[in-house]
Every structure is written in structure tokens, then in C-alpha cells.
Amino acid sequence: MSNEKRSRAPSAWWLIGIIILVTILPYVCRSISPTSPKPIGWNEFEQQMLDRHAVDSLDVVNNEYADVYIRQQFADSPYFRNMTHPVAGKPMEPGPHYRVNIGSVEMLEKKLDEAQKDLPATQRIKLNFTRQHSSVIDLLGWLVPMVVLVLIFSRIMRSSGAGGMGGGLSPFNFGHSTATRQTDANHSTITFRDVAGMTEAKQEVMEIVDFLKAPDRYTKLGAKIPRGVIIVGPPGTGKTLLAKAVAGEAKVPFLSLSGSEFVEMFVGVGASRVRDLFRQAKEAAPCIIFIDEIDAVGRSRSRGAFFAGANDERESTLNQLLTEVDGFGTNSGVIVLAATNRADMLDPALLRPGRFDRHVYLELPDPLEREAIFDVHLRPLKLADSGVDSAALAAQTPGFSGADIANICNEAALFAARRKSEVVENQDFLEAIDRVIAGGLEKKHKIISPEEKKVIAYHEAGHAVVSWYLTKVDPLIKVSVIPRGKSLGAAWYLPEERQIRTAAAFTEMICASLGGRAAEELIFGELSSGALDDLEKVTRQAYSMVAYYGFDPKIGPVSFYDATGNQESTFQKPYSEATGRMIDDEVRLLVTSAYRQTMELLQQHRIQLETLATMLLQKEVVYKEDLEKILGKRLAPNTPSGVGDEDRHLVVVKNML
């Protein structure tokens, strides 16, 4: 916080103190006023005043006490002189002159009647009843609300001051942008050296940074800097990390905020924040604006229009954003960098050339990129002298994103710390990979009955046997019946780096998923609820084969998949009810046929199934070496039927489509 802000605080508190002092001053003066009535007892009041008929009137306050006013003719009496006019020659004070506690109103009225029974009505004491509050209560009634308002106001101003560039909770800055500006004090320390993999994506973004540093090299050729760059990719692939690298490398003002910060319940606030954001960017040009999760504000206007109406606040915010990025006004020197994992949700007008000229697509890293990412995240770790093979770790983590790899390295360090080790070893990384894949630590002390453990063992053995003899299924490396996370057992596969899959590969994957349920039915003659996850996966894959990939001959080579995602906003499916029933029938036929083939395969290899299940009950974890001893050497992928050892019966699952 600057010295200027610190100097403002004392002046504000001085002003608040003056206001409070002016407010309570009348009450203080009233409490110390010299004209305040003199308190007396009841006996003195009765003997010196009431019996002598010296009382002119009584003001009964709150039915508790009475203020006494003395008659004018008794002003010169020695008893009343000091109280009614203390200075000789001055007129009588207006009063009240005395104050007496009355006990009760009934007793007071009784005493007055007894003392005045012989007096005419014109000379009787005037009796008034009033209700008053004390000065302290009045003071608190003014002071407490004022203090509460001051505290609330100071809290709001403090929150708005800590909220970035003027947005926050302040009522005066409610329509201002909440973007955070990167300055020399809080600039990003991440550079392109810290971004591993993503070679093509880095090249496209580095070109923009280079344009900002040396624009003459491009402008002399007639090139124009892109107005906007949108980074699209699955979660965890490094979209925000790439933006942080741009902030660290560009050496220009960098404004960052989330797309949800534009969306408010109040009409017009989002559009006002967009205008204020670009106003700040134009004043600091050349400047980069980074909008993370832009789908929160850039969602297609055609979706939900029936429910939201034409004057939806989100739509007006998007319209203002479209105008600011590329509208009638000039917007030179401002580059908009955006990131999202839902590009199919964005409005087409936002993605057109002139607004976002460059689209950068990030994908899950390949083996070489994963190795480079491991090298980046292994730098800060204290590794064992034997070292850690990043290439081997990359080979064991197919389909992992950069965020997953960072999590594995952190979990490995935590495993080493849990062992009270001084260094991180290779076994820690293997444990971390297992934890990330299975979703938790091993629960070796979880109470499972022997009957349930036997069912789990045969279930996992069924998965292992079926996937071992089907060559198009990913290689199996380990089977376990130790609970992890929500699962009671698991089979670990090593997915191959494939871009496409054939219909036969999909069918064999369905058979492998049904292996656990088929093994339970074959051995125990009944089914359990343990196959819920398998059935969900099988159903999803079967519908994809029939309705999306065009693998079913009866449905034909058509696909009902919508890459734009517009089907989410429609009330009907893109096919008729008859076609829907046909799809359901074909999916059911596909799954039941695969289940029948899986059952036949397990019947032929029942001995291996029981042997593997027995070993699982004894060892709890069976690795690839033990699997080869029981099931034999696994055939290479795409091996034709009949090739292999004569004592093995390979069942090739035919295409049942």
C-alpha cells in the first residue's frame, strides 16, 4: 500500500471524530447544565413545600419522579432563594427547581388531595404527566447507528481498494473493470522456458510477443498484428500457463480477468465493465488483455434465447465485447488473449477473423512432450542419486495432461516425505501414478468380508483374462484387489498412443469391460452391483458406435453427433422415434452379443481364471510377470487368428455389427 493511502486514513478518522463530538456535545452540555433541578427527599418535599402550599406545578416524568416548580411569591423565602434566583436582584429561574421521587402516581395524588382539600380549585397544584428518555439513551440512539454506518462504509472502501483496479464492492466503482494489471511489482515470473511441450502453440503466441517488441519487422512488409488470439484445449493442457508466459515475456501492460467477472445480476454492469476494461487498455497501449474462461460471457446468443429473451444481461455484455474488439471505433495496440475449453459454446461472431484472428489448439501431450513436461516439474525436486527416468515416466502416463503430470510430481514428493526420506525415488513416482489413476491411496485396512473379497477377485480376474486374450485391447500391466478411492479393485492398462480406433477395437473393449460381470455369473451363478461402472462405460461406447461412428450396418453410415453442441438447446433429437427405437435395439444387440462372446471366452479359459483369482486372494496385487506365467505370453496386436502356441485357444471376437 502506498504512503498516499496511509496518509488519507488519519484525516478520515479525524473527520469522523469531529462529527461524533458535534453530535454528543449537546447531551454533554445538558448533563452539566447549572439549571438542572436539585434532588430532594419526600419528607422535605412534603414539609417544606407541600404543606406550605409553595408548589405551583408538578411534572410527573415516566411515572417515576416529579419536577417541582415553586410559586413566584415564595421566591424571596430563605429556603428557596439559592435555588430559584441565586443572585440577588435577578428574576426567578424558570425551573424546574427541584426533583423528587414519587414512589407511585396513586400515592402522589393521595398526598396532594390531603394537602389541598381546603384550597379552591384555582390555587391547586397543576399536575402534568410526561414521558422522556434519558440523555444516555438519546446519545446511544444517535451514536450507535452512526458508528455502524462508519464501520460498514470503511469496510466497503477497504474491500474496493483491495479489489484490483477499481472494481470490487465499492458502490462508486460498481461498473468499473475488475481486471488485475500486471506491473513491475507483481509481474509474472513464468517464461516460455517454463512451458514444456506445445511447440506449435508457443510459436504462434511468441510471434505476437515478438511483434510487440519489434513491430517494424512486420509492418514494413504490410503485416498487421492479430487483434485476438483464442487458446482452446482440454482442461489441464496449459492454456492459463501459456497466458502467464506471455505476461512474463511481453514487457507490456497486461490486464487479466475471468469471463465470469463481467456477468452480474444488475442490468448494464457487464457492458459497463467491458467499456471500462478497453478504456484502460487503450490508455496503456500497447497492451494485452487476457480473458480466462471466455465461454462464461461469450456463449452463443442463439442458445437459450427462448428463455432469456432478447434483452438478456449476458447478451448485452457479449454485444459490447464484440463492439470493443472490432467495431466502428479504432482499437489499435490492444490484443485480446482468451482461453476456453468449450469452444463449441462460443458465439460465431466472436470467433470470426477480425476479432479472434488466430486460434491456437492445445491437445494432450504426446510421449516426447510428456517427457519435456516431466523435466520441467522435476527441476525443483530433490531426486535420488540414481535419478528418475523421465522417458519411462512419460511412457507410463499416456493420456495425461500437463496438470496431471504436475500433480504426479507433487504426489511423489509427498510420498517421499511420508516415508521420512531425504530424496524422491522412482518408486515414489510409481505410487503417485497409481494414486492419480485409481483416485486415492490404498485402503489396506478397509473391512471386506471373505465372500466379498472372493467376488472382487474373480471380477478383476475376469477383466484380466478377457483383455489378455483380445489383442486389440490395451496391454494389461497389473491387477489389484486392494481398495483405492471408490473402487474395490482395479486392473491397470497401458493405453497405446492411437488417433483412431476400428470397429473391432471398440468391440473388444466392450468385451473386456464385461469380463468382470461375466466372470461373476460363470463362477457364482449370480450377479452383483460391482459392475455398475463397467456397464455405464459399455453403454456409452455402444451408443457411440451405433449413433456417432456409423459402425452399425442397419442404421447405416450416418452420424447424429453435433460438434457445435446446438442439440443442447433444442427440444427434440435429430432423428425420428422409429430411428431412436432402432438405435436402442442395435445397442442392446451389440452389448448382448459381446457379453455372450465374453462368456464363451471365459468358459474356454476357466482354469486360468480360477488360478489368477486364487493368486489375487493370496498376493492382492499381480503384475505382468505373474500374468504371463498363468496366461502365457500375450500375442502382439493385430495377430491373425490361429497364430501362437498350439496349447492356447485364442478367441477372436468377430465384428457383430
φ/ψ of residue 424, rounded to 5: -95, 125
C-alpha cell at 214: 519489434
DSSP 325-394: HSSSS--TTEEEEEEES-GGGB-HHHHSTTTS-EEEE-----HHHHHHHHHHHHTTS-B-TT---HHHHH
Amino acid at 460: E
Listed in sequence order, the residues at least 6 apart from 258 whose beta carbon sits closer than 8 Å to its beta carbon are: 291, 292, 293, 296
List the end-to-end C-alpha distance of the chain, in Å, as a whole number: 70
φ/ψ of residue 366, rounded to 5: -85, 180
Residue 536 annotated in active site: no
Kindly state the DSSP code that residue 434 receives in the 8-state scheme.
H
**Nearest Cα to Cα of residue 278 among 351, 229, 327, 313:** 327
C-alpha cell at 339: 482461453
Kindly state the DSSP code that residue 91 receives in the 8-state scheme.
P
Whether 354 contacts 227, CB under 8 Å = yes
* Residue 168: C-alpha distances to residues 156, 165, 174 (Å): 9, 8, 7
101 half-sphere exposure, CB direction, 13 A CA radius: 2
Strands 358-361 and 228-232: parallel
Active-site residue, selected from the candidate residues 324, 460, 520, 586: 460
Rounded CA-CA distance 522/533 in Å is 19
* Residue 447: C-alpha distances to residues 121, 475, 479, 488, 516 (Å): 99, 31, 20, 11, 22
Quick one: which H or E segment has residue 83?
Answer: helix 78-84
Rounded CA-CA distance 175/268 in Å is 8
Write b or e for each residue in 482-506: b if 16 or more Cβ atoms lie within 10 A of its Cβ, otherwise e: bbbeebbbbbbbeeeeeeeeeebbb
**Residue 129, SS3?**
strand
**Nearest Cα to Cα of residue 326 among 223, 179, 228, 260:** 228
**Nearest Cα to Cα of residue 596 among 647, 654, 537, 541:** 654
Strands 38-40 and 98-101: parallel
Whether 441 contacts 481, CB under 8 Å = no
* Residue positions annotated with a catalytic role: 460
